[in-house]
Amino acid sequence: MLHHIVAIAHGSVRRVVVNLVNLDEKAEVYGYDYANMESVKKMKDFQFYQGEVPKRGAKP
């Protein structure tokens, strides 16, 4: 599942961490001791954060 989270986060470490924290919190609400893709699909109100990665560097 980590590979999936990294892919949708476009490699952004911050977004990976945000998704892991959100997933952990939601899994706890649903009573799961751990989360996998099967359990994520059962969490109807959970979505991974996929925001656009900010552009770095000087603006033209």
Query: Is residue 60 domain-resident?
Result: no
Cβ atoms 1, 37 nearer than 8 A: yes
Which of 21, 26, 19 has the alpha carbon at shortest distance from 42?
A: 26
Full residue range of the structural domain in which residue 36 is found? 2-42
Query: Is residue 29 domain-resident?
Result: yes
Report pLDDT for 18: 94
Report pLDDT for 60: 62
Cβ atoms 50, 8 nearer than 8 A: yes
Query: Is residue 50 domain-resident?
Result: no
Query: Is residue 11 domain-resident?
Result: yes
- What's the pTM value of the predicted model, to 2 decimals? 0.77
Report pLDDT for 10: 86
Query: Is residue 14 domain-resident?
Result: yes
If one counts the domains in the chain, the total is 1
Query: Is residue 51 domain-resident?
Result: no
pLDDT digits (tens, 9 = 90+) for 10-50: 888 999 999 999 999 999 999 999 889 999 999 989 999 88
